[in-house]
């Protein structure tokens, strides 16, 4: 069962498990589609994801319950009217305790390594604010507040901007250092003029707690 963090007539926010892809993988296997019937919650329409989270990333995922809501929510993301907070475990400890990373990103691809995002002057502007929360066993728990929503933004900004990659990141860090890329979408807030704002908080995931980072 997928945990529901927020529900009303036009929106759901779920706590997406780490490792669950939003789209059906080409090689087969489970995805969010396998849970859609459960997430209808008595509605005839299936809810539709408004934004993306990487397969490994856990936490707050907003779904729209009707087409009009989907249009409004998409516009809110485009206009940067959605507050998003992530927490991640870095594979080391950064030199500073906080900062702002401004690195434009471009997509590259090769037959050997597949595709990835890289910092590039001619790429799409990308901004992430970050704050060190705690250090344990030579690793750092960091809060990220992205202003933009580029593909792999936090992962690249951690590795190339902060200088320490996310633990477990197979593309921008050390593959196999953790079972997954240790990134969690902890909070989401979408302002709705004239209506109750959508706010959701996803609790610390068990695999973060197992590494010594609890909610305390």
Catalytic residue ranges: 54
The candidate with the shortest Cα–Cα distance to 155, out of 101, 112, 212, 198, is 101
The Cα–Cα gap between 180 and 166 comes to 10
The Cα–Cα gap between 145 and 131 comes to 9
Buried b (16+ CB within 10 A) or exposed e, 193-205: eeeeebebebebb
The Cα–Cα gap between 57 and 21 comes to 9
Residues with Cβ within 8 Å of residue 146, at least 6 apart in sequence: 84, 86, 126, 127, 128, 129, 153, 154
Read off the tokens for 98. Answer: 């906080």
169 vs 53, 163, 204, CA distance in Å?
14, 14, 19
Give me the residues paired with residue 85 across strands.
187
64, 70 Cβ separation under 8 angstroms: yes
């Amino acid at each position: 069962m997928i945990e529901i963090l927020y529900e009303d007539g036009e929106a759901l926010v779920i706590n997406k498990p780490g490792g669950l892809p939003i789209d059906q993988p080409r090689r087969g296997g489970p995805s969010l589609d396998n849970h859609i019937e459960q997430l209808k919650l008595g509605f005839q329409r299936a809810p539709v994801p408004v934004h993306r989270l990487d397969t490994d990333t856990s936490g707050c995922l907003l779904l729209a319950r009707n087409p009009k809501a989907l249009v409004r929510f998409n516009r809110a993301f485009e206009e940067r009217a959605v507050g998003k907070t992530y927490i991640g475990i870095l594979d080391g400890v950064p030199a500073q305790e906080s900062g702002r990373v401004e690195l434009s990103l471009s997509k590259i691809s090769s037959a050997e390594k597949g595709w990835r995002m890289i910092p590039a002057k001619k790429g799409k502007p990308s901004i992430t604010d970050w704050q060190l929360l705690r250090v344990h066993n030579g690793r750092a728990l960091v809060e990220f507040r992205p202003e933009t929503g580029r593909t792999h933004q936090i992962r690249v900004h951690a590795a190339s901007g902060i200088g320490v990659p996310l633990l477990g990141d197979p593309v921008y860090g050390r593959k196999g250092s953790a079972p997954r890329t240790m990134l969690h979408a902890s909070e989401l807030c979408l302002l709705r003029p004239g209506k109750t704002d959508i706010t959701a908080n996803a609790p610390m995931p068990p695999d973060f707690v197992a590494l010594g980072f609890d909610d305390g």
